Amino acid sequence: NSRAMQGFAARLDATGSRLLYSSYFKAPGSGATAVAIGAGTSRLLAAGRFEDTGAAVVEFDESVRAADPVLTCVANGANFIPNRVSPGQVLTLFGSALGPRTGVVPAAVAGRMPIQVEGTRVLVDGIASPILFARADQINAVAPFALTARRNVEVVVEVNGRRTAAQTVEVLDAVPAVFQLGLTNRAAVLNQDGAVNTPANPAKRGSIVSIFLTGAGTLDPVPADGAIAGAPLPTHKLPIQVLFTG
């Protein structure tokens, strides 16, 4: 094939120092040339080499670029009540173009959850928050413990350097909420033997159960944001009561 071509397209960020994405066009029989996209440009170029005609450059329509990220709601990660947060609380953020199309559950690095997942960051008053899950329409993150002395914060999602408009959220000492099993109204609870508590597998009277919740306030000692808890475990500074009704 005398028209075989090889080459690749590449886009860098606005500073020209970080690769955002690239694509390699492979065909047998010829060499390839590279393209570097300069800082501040709005163009995406591709370059390659045809066997019989030499180098070729193609310009793509910038209108097909990725959509700008939009943040529509900041909610409690357990009950989805919006616009209130406490230090160390799990947050769920809803919107569009907030991250990868397919959900990503990141792994801890050196005992801490990462503050960036595939180019996505969550900023709470400018503090990068640990991310537990990231997808285009939803992010689960952990509010920084440094919110203790604040009364309102602004939450922003940044995707590959592009930021959403800020959402203002009230800060409270505690916003407790119990996680639920899927879309049911049943609490996420483990029985003493470690099995999931269900109507078919109830806890025995007098046994110990483990209840999963968030928003109970700051800890003592205060751990590093995103740190995986280990012995000795910190304790809650605020008193906690568990009430059973029904």
| Residue 244 pLDDT | 85
Min mean pLDDT across 11-15, 18-22, 79-83, 101-105 is at 11-15
pLDDT at 68 (0 to 100):
92
- Position 134, amino acid: A
In the numeric block, the tokens 């066009």 are attached to: 25
Alpha-carbon distance values, 78 to 12, 17, 34, 177 (Å)? 38, 39, 48, 6
CB 87 within 8 A of CB 215: no
DSSP 69: P
Is residue 158 within 8 A of residue 121, CB to CB? The reply is yes
Tens-digit pLDDT profile for residues 12-59: 655 555 667 676 655 554 444 444 444 444 444 455 544 444 445 554
What token pair was written down for 144? Answer: 């920084």
In percent, the amount of the chain with pLDDT more than 70 equals 73
Would you mind telling me the total number of residues written for the chain in this entry?
246
Contact indicator for 55, 48 with CB cutoff of 8 Å = yes
